[in-house]
Amino acid sequence: MIKDLVQSAIDEESKPYWDGLKNEKLFIQYCDDCQQYIFYPRTICPHCFSEKIRWQESCGNGKIYSYTVVHQAFGPFKSEAPFVVGIIELDEGVRMMSRILGDKDQIAIDQEVSVVFQEVENDLVLPYFQVKEL
Amino acid sequence: MKSDRIAAIVGVAESDLGKTPGKNVLQLQAQAAKLALEDAGLTKNDIDAVFTAGNWAWAPNLMLAEYLGIQPKYTDSTNIGGSSFEAHVGHAVAGIKAGLFEVALITYGSTNKTNPSNSMFKSPLTAQYELPYGLPTPVGAYALAAMRHMHQFGTTSEQLAEIAVATRKWAALNEKAYMREPIAIEDVLNSRKIADPLHLLDCCLVTDGGGAVIVASSNVASKLNKKPVWILGHGESHSHNTIANMPDLTVTSAVESGKRAFEMAGISHDEIDVAEIYDSFTITVLLTLEALGFCKPGEGGAFVSGQRTAPGGDFPMNTNGGGLSYCHPGMYGIFLLIEAVRQLRGECSSRQVENAKLALVHGTGGVLSSTSTVILGGD
Ligand SMILES: [Zn+2]
């Protein structure tokens, strides 16, 4: 169960992020003091230590910073292999790990991607990224 | 200008390695500690500081020291993954310099092969943002770094394979090495893909094993039978925890840890006779060589080409066979120290690097997260 991997970690700090995904919104954070974006969710800015942080919906667009085709996976992912995991750099400048959807032989670093919301298990929605059509 | 000779490594040993069914992590550490004391010519009663790291207990130092019957006056359980033990060496020097203790025992033990649950625990917290995507840890994270390095600099799988092939040649000269059959570059490229671009033979072994290192003040070291191996320089740093938060996937914090170690030792790169560099994966070595400044960013592939790091090459590296072929019980860093000490003492018989006077030891932990560099010099 993929949900088991995250469920116990969800708390007041991360709940708005996970709730956002259920409503097909990708929430990141913005610091009003240093005007920089933040991911993953925190209650204190890792750039300037300000607590003037607010949630903001990401545009959901970005590009592939790196990726790998996973051939040997573990646990609940074992049967899904091969699949593509990558680090996405959102247009806002923050990076996040995600799955990349598309022809795995065509995927390349720097390709543009946009978010899609995938219900991977009942009540667990994840942001995946789809390679944009050229 | 050479640094002050404050402390030295005076004893080293491994426990049983490879598969050790029937032995737990405490037995392995006790076995290694006893052998390291014998190597040093010291007794248990000489130990007044205890250093260990691992995920096998709530407070590993408490459990280990009780098991060994030691009541230390100083203890340190800094856990920065595989680079912990190079950090422990640096911390031991600092403690000795401050006059807090004279003899420190550093140990590690793991049963990763036989009983992995003895060596692991889970703590989700910030991992919640990565775990649901199924990236196998740690190999998947290193694969992301390798892919980025290839994209940015044109590094090839053949160049990564050079490292695995050269390391296996050293393993063939070490009877304690787990994998000793020769391999060729094609064997690496044709081995099963784990996470692109890394193949099975780009990845370290999974074994059981323990090790121990004894650090002593110059006062104690100078009275012992074996020649001390002086700790000349140390540096450590860490840049991230999870791979998505690594500032640049091609640059590790060895840039910082290496710089400080060289500065403290007061030596230059071309004076290093032998390098023991954490090889959890072939890409780990490549990135480390660049970050330490043995070559420029992006030139690691060219640097290791032509079997330069193999026996007989002009950059002897990972002379015990490394984590790729000798042993890798999860947090490999202590074994790098053991091998460097043996090289500087001239105890390595057929794999001995001729006239080895200065060694660089570099640990890496997590997913390229932490680094710690130690420079050692023979007497
Ligand atoms: Zn800020």
pLDDT in the model for residue B283:
98
Distance CA B128, CA B122 (A): 11
Which residues of A sit within 8 Å Cβ distance of B?
A: 2, 5-6, 8-10, 14, 39-40, 65-77, 80, 83, 85-87, 95-99, 108-110, 120, 124, 126
Contact between B69 and B45 under an 8 Å Cβ cutoff? The reply is no
Complex ipTM, two decimals?
0.97
Tokens of B170: 């050293």
For the segment A99-122, the average pLDDT, to the nearest whole number, is 96
Confidence of residue B117 (pLDDT cuts 50, 70, 90): confident
CB contact under 8 A, A66 and B193: no
Distance CA A34, CA A47 (A): 7
CB contact under 8 A, A69 and B130: no
CA of residue A111 to ligand 1 center, whole Å: 29
CA of residue A45 to ligand 1 center, whole Å: 5
Paired sense of beta strands B370-377 and B358-365, if any: antiparallel
Look up the pTM and report it: 0.97
| Residue B279 DSSP SS3 | coil
Tokens of B92: 């031991």
Select from B207, B28, B21, B23 the least CA-distant residue to B108. Answer: B28
Residue listed under structure tokens 């390679």: A131
Query: From residue B125, how far is each of B50, B122, B183, B375 by CA, in Å?
Result: 30, 10, 41, 36
- Beta strand spans in B148-255 (E): 193-195, 198-199, 208-217, 229-238
Q: What are phi and psi of B181, to 5 degrees?
A: -65, 135
Spell out which residues of chain B touch residue A106, defining contact as CB-CB under 8 Å.
none
Phi-psi region at B206: left, alpha or beta (left = phi > 0; alpha = psi -120 to 50): beta
Quick: pLDDT tens for B336-358. 999 999 999 999 999 999 999 99
Exposure b/e, B134-164, CB count within 10 A at least 16 = b: bbbebbbbbbbbbbbbbbebebebebbbbbb
| Residue A96 DSSP SS3 | strand
What is the least distance, in Å, from the CA of B148 to any CA of chain A?
Answer: 6
Using a pLDDT cut of 70, give the percent of chain A over it. Answer: 99
For the segment A79-107, the average pLDDT, to the nearest whole number, is 97
pLDDT in the model for residue A65:
98
Quick: pLDDT tens for B23-52. 999 999 999 999 999 999 999 999 999 999
Tokens of A116: 């899609």
Give contacts of B 232-271 with A, CB under 8 A: 242-245, 249
Confidence of residue A24 (pLDDT cuts 50, 70, 90): very high
CB contact under 8 A, A71 and B195: yes
For the segment A112-129, the average pLDDT, to the nearest whole number, is 97
Quick: pLDDT tens for B254-300. 999 999 999 999 999 999 999 999 999 999 999 999 999 999 999 99
pLDDT in the model for residue B116:
80
**Average pLDDT of chain B?**
96
Is pLDDT at B122 greater than 70 in this prediction?
A: no
Spell out which residues of chain B touch residue A5, defining contact as CB-CB under 8 Å.
124, 128, 131-132
Distance CA B193, CA B276 (A): 26
pLDDT in the model for residue B119:
58
Quick: pLDDT tens for B56-78. 999 999 999 999 999 999 999 99
pLDDT in the model for residue B1:
38
pLDDT in the model for residue A1:
87
**What percentage of chain A's residues is helix, strand, coil (to nearest 5)?**
15, 40, 45
Per DSSP, what are the bridge partners of residue B217? B7
Nearest CA in chain A to B131: A5
Spell out which residues of chain A touch residue B143, defining contact as CB-CB under 8 Å.
68, 70
What is the least distance, in Å, from the CA of B142 to any CA of chain A?
Answer: 9
Nearest to A80 among B134, B147, B148 (CB): B134
Paired sense of beta strands A112-121 and A95-101, if any: unpaired
pLDDT in the model for residue A50:
98
Quick: pLDDT tens for B192-222. 999 999 999 999 999 999 999 999 999 999 9
